[in-house]
Structure 1
């Protein structure tokens, strides 16, 4: 099955094979594996030894993002959240549920937020201490520019939390170049092509040390994750981790390096997205984003306004042809999204486009362009 969703992604056979072992996470043979993962992840994030630390947590992207919010933002403080997509809206809910105050910066889900919009919002509300920005909007495929937004946050003297869950490892971001950023957060099962189950924050050590007692939670306290590592070693997890997934992630990082790292992975994903974007146009479908706003992680497509089209039927027809995509829409207008990440090649993406054409023909959908 060709898995084309934005996470968990299709993985390399070597990564999957690494799961086939029983592991004691506290065993002295496993601790160096975990410690090495933390060091290598910090390097991918452009972190500096002694200035930045990798702080993992069991669970999905929402878990590690909530942990970052709770750790770095005091209770009751204001957070500016650009909401130009479903995941910005979810981030705003995380802020509210954590007892912090949301200042939403709404925008259409068809273009990135601009630095001018962020700068204006910060200028008009001196109480805003943090900006939480979604790097890649996984609903539509928009990429919000961290260089431009980070510069605006830095100029205003505020702090940044970067949700790079579906972008990290492919889209460039360097903690060393963003002193305004408290943490960048991401997960194992997206662009780094590991198995799902682990969230990571690469965070500024000085900020972690300043934020003791903010979290209001033991499980979601990155300060506690850091101090545990100081006490027990960088190969020690606080609570029982997904050890097999960590072992597989170590292999995924090996493969990442073997491919050529961030630039090589971005190049492959970019070509996947180009093949898909051109392919859906060739099928008479309309991509959700203008090409200038299209990121390399997913391509979202307007659903055909045809009485025979139903998203679940389309998904089922594709699955019967060996291609699996998401069966829900996250955009303001009805759409379907196709992932371009994971252990997938441009040739396989061309095969997926052919399968889409066959699925639409089987459904009797021949007039396809959305209004």
Structure 2
């Protein structure tokens, strides 16, 4: 089965086989591997050994996003401005509110990225805002927010930034040392590094982590406590039992990522995947949700055909019969379906998927008027 969702992604056999081992996470023989993973993650993020640290946390992307919010946005004196142009920004807003944080919203259409000018104006209008929360790659719609350009205005305004890089890290460029306004770049093991689910990571400036002690009001979601435990017990250690096999497999995936050429090579492959998918579906008569200039390389969305024979779940099942699995839901107001361009897939697999889409539409009796 070809898995084309924005995560968990299609993985290599070497990564999957790495799960088939029994490991004790408290065994000091495992510590060097755990430490090496943290250091490689820090390096991929553009961090420096004496200034930045990679902090692992068990769980899904929502867990690491909530941990970053709790850790860096003080409940009493902080306020988070969320750039809201997609479903995962909406989730960041909910996580912040339910953590008891003061939240403001900069609402943008989910068909484009936010502009630096819009962020600058929102920051100027609300002096209480201490942090900007932004989703780098919005898998709800496929858009990409320019965190470098936005970071410049955040830095100029003397504010801080939390970047949800869950579906961006490893593919879209990011350099933590060049963005000192960032408190945390957060991501997970099962997206663009092409590992398996189970681990989240936050890459942060050490001085900001040290200054955040006491903010979280949560033992589980306190990144400063993750850091303090590392200082006390060694950075190969964990506070609570981690999904250690998933971490081990992530280490294998990370080494493959580096050997492939790192972020530039991964981005190039995903961009080509997205181009083939986008152009191929247009030839089938499908209408993309985004204009090409707004289309990110991680996931592409298409409007559901306005045809009585099209039902999303039936379309998903028809694709499965042809060997392709896509998401069976959408996060947009208008009905869409979404197809991931990431994971251990390349142009041949994407061309196969386009053919399967054609066949699935035919199975449902759907023929687009302008199909080539």
User: Do the structures match in fold with TM over 0.5?
Assistant: yes
Aligned residues: 370
- Counterpart for residue 321 of structure 1: 322
- Counterpart for residue 39 of structure 2: 39
The question of whether the paired residues in 1 share the 8 Å contact of 2:113 and 2:144 is answered with yes
Find out whether 1:56 has 2:56 as its counterpart. Answer: yes
- Counterpart for residue 249 of structure 1: 250
The question of whether the paired residues in 1 share the 8 Å contact of 2:286 and 2:368 is answered with no
Q: Provide the rounded CA distance (Å) in 1 between the counterparts of 2:309 and 2:370.
A: 13
Q: Provide the rounded CA distance (Å) in 1 between the counterparts of 2:214 and 2:240.
A: 19
Find out whether 1:88 has 2:89 as its counterpart. Answer: yes
Which runs of 5 or more residues in structure 1 are unaligned? Answer: none
Secondary structure of 2:130's counterpart equals strand
Q: Deviations over 1:20-76 (max 9, x none)?
A: 001101112211111100000000000011210011100011000000000000004
Cα pair distance change 1:90/1:369, threshold 3 Å: farther
Q: Provide the rounded CA distance (Å) in 2 between the counterparts of 1:282 and 1:214.
A: 52
Q: Deviations over 1:103-132 (max 9, x none)?
A: 101111100011100000000110000000
- Counterpart for residue 156 of structure 1: 157
Q: Provide the rounded CA distance (Å) in 1 between the counterparts of 2:370 and 2:357.
A: 14
The question of whether the paired residues in 1 share the 8 Å contact of 2:284 and 2:370 is answered with no
Secondary structure of 1:162's counterpart equals strand
- Counterpart for residue 135 of structure 2: 134
- Counterpart for residue 198 of structure 2: 197
Q: Deviations over 1:197-250 (max 9, x none)?
A: 000000111011111100000000000000000011111111101010011011
- Kindly state the Cα deviation for residue 145 of structure 1 after the two structures are TM-superposed: 0.2
- Kindly state the Cα deviation for residue 368 of structure 1 after the two structures are TM-superposed: 6.0
Secondary structure of 1:288's counterpart equals coil
Q: Provide the rounded CA distance (Å) in 1 between the counterparts of 2:64 and 2:330.
A: 24
- Counterpart for residue 121 of structure 1: 122
Q: Which stretch has the larger CA shift, 195-204 or 27-36? A: 27-36
The question of whether the paired residues in 1 share the 8 Å contact of 2:284 and 2:368 is answered with no
Which runs of 5 or more residues in structure 2 are unaligned? Answer: none
The question of whether the paired residues in 2 share the 8 Å contact of 1:188 and 1:196 is answered with yes
The question of whether the paired residues in 2 share the 8 Å contact of 1:188 and 1:195 is answered with yes
TM-score under structure 2 length normalisation: 0.98
Q: Provide the rounded CA distance (Å) in 2 between the counterparts of 1:99 and 1:327.
A: 33
- Counterpart for residue 75 of structure 1: 75
- Counterpart for residue 15 of structure 1: 15
The question of whether the paired residues in 1 share the 8 Å contact of 2:159 and 2:181 is answered with yes
Q: Provide the rounded CA distance (Å) in 2 between the counterparts of 1:365 and 1:270.
A: 28
- Counterpart for residue 240 of structure 1: 241
1:257-272 to 2 correspondences below 5 Å: 257-272=258-273
Q: Provide the rounded CA distance (Å) in 2 between the counterparts of 1:33 and 1:369.
A: 54
The question of whether the paired residues in 2 share the 8 Å contact of 1:192 and 1:256 is answered with yes
Q: Provide the rounded CA distance (Å) in 1 between the counterparts of 2:282 and 2:142.
A: 16
- Counterpart for residue 295 of structure 2: 294
- Counterpart for residue 188 of structure 1: 189
Secondary structure of 1:54's counterpart equals strand
Secondary structure of 1:364's counterpart equals coil
- Kindly state the Cα deviation for residue 87 of structure 1 after the two structures are TM-superposed: 0.7
Q: Provide the rounded CA distance (Å) in 1 between the counterparts of 2:365 and 2:310.
A: 8
- Kindly state the Cα deviation for residue 133 of structure 1 after the two structures are TM-superposed: 0.4
Q: Provide the rounded CA distance (Å) in 2 between the counterparts of 1:127 and 1:368.
A: 53
Secondary structure of 2:177's counterpart equals helix
Q: Provide the rounded CA distance (Å) in 1 between the counterparts of 2:147 and 2:230.
A: 29
Q: Provide the rounded CA distance (Å) in 2 between the counterparts of 1:148 and 1:348.
A: 34
- Counterpart for residue 341 of structure 2: 340
Q: Provide the rounded CA distance (Å) in 2 between the counterparts of 1:369 and 1:197.
A: 43
The question of whether the paired residues in 2 share the 8 Å contact of 1:286 and 1:369 is answered with no
- Kindly state the Cα deviation for residue 333 of structure 1 after the two structures are TM-superposed: 1.0
